[in-house]
Amino acid sequence: MERLLAACQHGTTAEIIDLLTSVAINSNFRDEDGRTLMYYACQRDLPLVVEALCQHNFKLEQVTRNGKSALHVAAFCGSRNVVDLLTSKFPPLLNVRCSVGLTAIHSAVEGGQQDMFHRLLAATMNPRAVCFSKRNILHLACEKGHYDLFMHLLADYNDILHMKAYRDWGMIHFAAVGGNIQIMHHLIKEGFNILQTTSDDTTPLHFACSKGKVEMVKFLIAKFPNQLHLCDSQGYQAVHHCASGGDEEMLQILERAGAEVEKKTKEGLNVLHIASHGKNRELVKHLADNFPNLLTMNDDKGRSVLFTAAEGGSVVIMEFLTGRGVDPHTLSINGSTILHLACAKANKEMVEVSYF
């Protein structure tokens, strides 16, 4: 199967079909990413291979781990010939939803594929359908940062522009996640409020920070600098969201704009607690170098920054923090230590950092 997998990934149609007739076939085979051979045939727009795989009992449904069908994949990748084949010969695929409720027409939008969108529309797919989290095609275009496709869709589907998704996510929140400044400009012109919050009080700036969208962060701060100090329902400001998904450059932008770097969340977490849970050593180092007080702060459970580093599983960050003087033997309020966490994870390296 490995030879056949390699052929489906890189070989010609003739090579793949030849192998299908000469090697033992396992129609349930998936690679280490959970993708079937059908996935690669659809990704590469090989309709003859798709038909040959069908003859060998390879399924068109669930060609990925998250339940996407062959039509989802072809639509996302812009595989026109496979899309035409599947919509004409296998119409039940038009009704298949993946594990999060996306149909193939949603996948076309996620991939920025305007032509695929219209082909699926012609195949009678519903462009106003929403996935399980209530995202529509405009939400998805914003989330993926596809400006041209967003504007194209907006001409025909302006009526769904103000629809909200799960937890009151509006179009402006998806635009912040996508990081496309042109889309954000347009939404502001349409009257969207850049301070609009979700049901848990998360703002567009919070999303841009947590997704590492540096240019979007600059844009939003320039438009309304006072939003730096707005908190979500957990007490996270923009700087806390940056610590979870941003980088050193973004953090410095927030610092220069006046972010409260030593501010704690409602659970008493500081930005170093949050950054230490991740894998970005340079961000942790920047905070330790410039805000050393953070190294000695505990959260409301009495946990030092080493506890969140241990929870995140980064031995490199744990070693860095102990090197900066954070005591690995301190107890939290409930009497636990980072050694308890290390043992629970059965991580020998973490145990060594925790114990010695």
More confident residue, 178 or 313: 178
Let me know if residue 276 belongs to a domain: yes
Q: How does pLDDT run across 225-258, given as a tens digit for each residue?
A: 999 999 999 999 999 999 999 999 999 999 999 9
Q: Report residue 59's pLDDT band, with 50, 70 and 90 as the boundaries.
A: very high
Q: How does pLDDT run across 179-193, given as a tens digit for each residue?
A: 999 999 999 999 999
Q: Report residue 171's pLDDT band, with 50, 70 and 90 as the boundaries.
A: very high
Averaged pLDDT, 88-97 = 97
Both tokens of residue 299?
A: 């959260």
Both tokens of residue 202?
A: 């998360």
- Let me know whether 277 and 151 are in one domain: no
Cα torsion 336, 338, 341, 342 to 10°: value is: -140
- Let me know whether 17 and 127 are in one domain: yes
Q: Determine if residue 145 is left, alpha or beta; phi over 0 gives left, psi from -120 to 50 gives alpha, anything else beta.
A: left
Q: Is 225 exposed, middle or buried (0-12, 13-18, 19+ CB in 10 A)?
A: exposed
Q: How does pLDDT run across 256-270, given as a tens digit for each residue?
A: 999 999 999 999 999
- Let me know whether 235 and 156 are in one domain: yes
Domain boundary (209, 236, 260) is at 260
Q: What is the pTM of this model?
A: 0.94
Both tokens of residue 151?
A: 């504007």
Q: How does pLDDT run across 155-169, given as a tens digit for each residue?
A: 999 999 999 999 999
The residue segments making up the domain with residue 138 are 133-260
Contacts of 227 (CB under 8 A, 6+ apart): 194, 195, 203, 205, 220, 221, 238
- Let me know whether 137 and 125 are in one domain: no
CA distance 132 to 273: 33
CA distance 300 to 114: 50
Let me know if residue 279 belongs to a domain: yes
Let me know if residue 266 belongs to a domain: no
- Let me know whether 234 and 277 are in one domain: no
- Let me know whether 96 and 199 are in one domain: no
Q: Where are the beta strands (DSSP E) in 85-131?
A: none
Proportion of the chain above pLDDT 70, given as a percent: 99
**How many other β-carbons are positioned within 10 Å of the β-carbon of residue 191?**
7
Let me know if residue 238 belongs to a domain: yes
Let me know if residue 331 belongs to a domain: yes
Domain boundary (202, 226, 260) is at 260
- Let me know whether 119 and 5 are in one domain: yes
- Let me know whether 232 and 297 are in one domain: no
Lowest mean pLDDT among 19-28, 110-119, 158-167: 19-28
Let me know if residue 156 belongs to a domain: yes
CA distance 107 to 116: 9
What pLDDT shows up at residue 258? 97
Query: For the chain, what is the radius of gyration of the CA atoms?
Result: 25
- Let me know whether 139 and 128 are in one domain: no
CA distance 85 to 53: 13
Q: Are 75 and 113 in contact (CB under 8 A)?
A: yes
CA distance 119 to 74: 12
Helix or strand holding residue 244 (H, E): helix 238-245
- Let me know whether 92 and 205 are in one domain: no
Mean pLDDT of the chain: 96
What pLDDT shows up at residue 119? 98
Q: Work out how many domains the chain is built from and give that number.
A: 3
Let me know if residue 265 belongs to a domain: no
**How many other β-carbons are positioned within 10 Å of the β-carbon of residue 102?**
25
- Let me know whether 256 and 277 are in one domain: no
Averaged pLDDT, 338-351 = 84
- Let me know whether 254 and 354 are in one domain: no
The CATH number of the domain holding residue 48 is 1.25.40.20
Let me know if residue 338 belongs to a domain: yes
What pLDDT shows up at residue 220? 98
Domain boundary (83, 115, 132) is at 132
